[in-house]
Amino acid sequence: MLDIKFLRENPDVVKENIRKKFQDEKLVLVDEVIALDRENRDIKQEVEALRADRNKASKQIGMLMGQGKKEEAEQVKKQVSESGARIDALTAREKEVEDEILKKMLVIPNIIDPSVPVGKDDSENVEVERFGEPVVPDFEIPYHTEIMEKFSGIDLDAAGRVAGNGFYYLKGDIARLHSAVLSYARDFMIDRGFTYCIPPYMIRSNVVTGVMSFAEMDSMMYKIEGEDLFLIGTSEHSMIGSFIDRILDEKDLPYTLTSYSPCFRKEKGAHGIEERGVYRIHQFEKQEMIVVCKPEDSMKWYDILWKNTVDFFRTLDIPVRTLECCSGDLADLKVKSVDVEAWSPRQKKYFEVGSCSNLGDAQARRLKIRVQGENGEKYFAHTLNNTCVAPPRMLIAFLENNLRADGSVAIPAALRPYMGGKTEIR
């Protein structure tokens, strides 16, 4: 959410940012907010003046009564009563106006970083860099569920009977591989100085609206019936939420956290063949990174975060690339975002396995996460998040890139301690 003072003083900047995100239907909101803000300030000014007059009149009543001027005192009392009614009406309208301002401000997108490429959707995202050499072996690589089935490692039919489409049972070595990847990711991030956390898997509605846009909430979140609770779509939600309504000491920054959680997502929309199996599902697990820092440090941490993901995948012999998200592909709260994509030898192309985002002070402003500096001044923190790894999607990349011609799967050295010392699975 933008600072209303910034919007008031820079309406053309805000409108141009909306155009860059190809959300022209929101342009009218800027003028509407400015008009409401003007009305709100006029109301406050009038209420302040009325209260000052009422205080003077109250003193005048006492003085008139003391002088025996009862009729004059009654007349002033009438004026005070009328003034009070006007104050009540204005106060009620002030609440309505402020609620309307907030409602509109919550859907005006954050100002994107100047370095973000302008484009309508994810088809216009820009490749930045490749890490590792993509290889297409001289043998056919089966679809990922077929690989898992050969190890008796997945049962989609049973999951469909129990929970419906978009769920799975993982078994045997595939299930162990899934857990091994998460355990390795936990230790990988701890070794990089991040504090390990396991957060709540449900959050209240005020946290939901603080960490994400309404469009994201509608397409992602599962609501708990009869409760003010939602299942998290990522642990970033509850981790950032832990700082709600807090004033942080500047000397304690940055907070660098890595959190494990299951994630639950609606995943609305039609999905092609490449998004079946365990690619796009309603339930998965993830190791996440979260940073809360000073504004001047957020871009430095942005680079550190996505590089952590690249390094993690490279230790597992998986080639990856980074893809800069264009303006139209950025969620409304994001300032800048980059996807990490893994190489798929079967598809002969890259696919998304993680996303790193700098949200500036958007989440902090919504959740009232402030920092008190050494000079005593308070300001909003910056927040960032990034996926370290999210199996089982990551397992697709792992199995395809480590599959051998004889059907066995090599276990890279970094993962062997978490697989009981195994060098391969058959």
Burial class of 377 by CB neighbour count within 10 A (0 to 12, 13 to 18, 19+) = exposed
**Are residues 89 and 178 located together in one domain of the fold?**
no
Dihedral sign, Cα of residue 215, residue 330, residue 312, residue 130:
positive
Residues sharing a CB contact under 8 Å with residue 96, sequence separation 6 or more, in sequence order: none
Report the pLDDT value the prediction gives residue 79, as an integer from 0 to 100: 79
Q: Structurally, how many domains does the chain consist of?
A: 2
**Are residues 227 and 272 located together in one domain of the fold?**
yes
**Are residues 163 and 288 located together in one domain of the fold?**
yes
Region for 239 from its dihedrals, namely left if φ exceeds 0, alpha if ψ lies in -120 to 50, beta otherwise:
alpha
Give the number of C-alpha atoms closer than 13 A to the C-alpha of residue 45, restricted to the C-beta side. 6
Residue 113 counted as domain residue: no
Q: Which amino acid is at 424?
A: E
**Are residues 72 and 163 located together in one domain of the fold?**
no
Report the pLDDT value the prediction gives residue 268, as an integer from 0 to 100: 61
**Are residues 145 and 227 located together in one domain of the fold?**
yes
Residue 110 counted as domain residue: no
On whether the CB atoms of residues 289 and 305 are closer than 8 A, the answer is: yes
**Are residues 159 and 98 located together in one domain of the fold?**
no
**Are residues 95 and 192 located together in one domain of the fold?**
no
**Are residues 61 and 131 located together in one domain of the fold?**
no
**Are residues 178 and 30 located together in one domain of the fold?**
no
Instruction: Find the distance separating the first CA and the last CA of the chain, reported in whole Å.
Output: 51
Domain boundary residue, one of 105, 139, 159: 105
User: For residue 44, what is the domain's CATH number?
Assistant: 1.10.287.40
Domain of residue 302: give its range. Answer: 122-425
Report the pLDDT value the prediction gives residue 272, as an integer from 0 to 100: 52
How far apart CA 345 and CA 203 sit, in angstroms, is 39
Residue 273 counted as domain residue: yes
How far apart CA 340 and CA 421 sit, in angstroms, is 29
Prior bond to 254 cis, omega within 30?
yes
pTM beyond cutoff 0.85: yes
Give the number of C-alpha atoms closer than 13 A to the C-alpha of residue 426, restricted to the C-beta side. 4
Residue 160 counted as domain residue: yes
Domain boundary residue, one of 105, 132, 156: 105
How far apart CA 169 and CA 175 sit, in angstroms, is 8
Residue 319 counted as domain residue: yes
Q: From first to last of its 426 residues, what are the pLDDT tens digits of the chain?
A: 899 999 999 999 999 999 999 999 999 999 999 999 999 999 999 999 988 887 777 777 777 677 777 777 777 777 777 888 889 999 999 999 999 999 999 999 999 999 999 999 999 999 999 999 999 999 999 999 999 999 999 999 999 999 998 899 999 999 999 999 999 999 999 999 999 999 999 999 999 999 988 777 878 899 999 999 999 999 999 999 999 999 999 999 999 999 999 999 997 654 554 557 888 899 999 999 999 999 999 999 999 999 999 999 999 999 999 999 999 999 999 999 999 999 999 999 999 999 999 999 999 999 999 999 999 999 999 999 999 999 988 999 999 999 999 999 999 999 999 999 999 999
Report the pLDDT value the prediction gives residue 275, as an integer from 0 to 100: 55
Which neighbouring-strand residues pair with 338? 324, 356
Burial class of 394 by CB neighbour count within 10 A (0 to 12, 13 to 18, 19+) = buried
For the chain, how many residues are written? 426
Report the pLDDT value the prediction gives residue 270, as an integer from 0 to 100: 44
Token pair for 384:
């960032």
How far apart CA 210 and CA 220 sit, in angstroms, is 15
Residue 112 counted as domain residue: no
Give the number of C-alpha atoms closer than 13 A to the C-alpha of residue 306, restricted to the C-beta side. 25
How far apart CA 201 and CA 257 sit, in angstroms, is 16
**Are residues 178 and 325 located together in one domain of the fold?**
yes
What DSSP letter does each residue of 329-394 carry, written as one string? GS-TT-SEEEEEEEEETTTTEEEEEEEEEE-TTHHHHHHT-EEE-TTS-EEE-EEEEEEEE-TTHH
**Are residues 17 and 164 located together in one domain of the fold?**
no
Q: Report the candidate in 417, 425, 345 with the shortest Cα–Cα distance to residue 183.
A: 417
On whether the CB atoms of residues 308 and 289 are closer than 8 A, the answer is: yes
Residues sharing a CB contact under 8 Å with residue 311, sequence separation 6 or more, in sequence order: none
How far apart CA 341 and CA 289 sit, in angstroms, is 17
Residue 326 counted as domain residue: yes
Residue 45 counted as domain residue: yes
Domain boundary residue, one of 105, 136, 160: 105
**Are residues 391 and 365 located together in one domain of the fold?**
yes
How far apart CA 363 and CA 333 sit, in angstroms, is 7
User: For residue 226, what is the domain's CATH number?
Assistant: 3.30.930.10
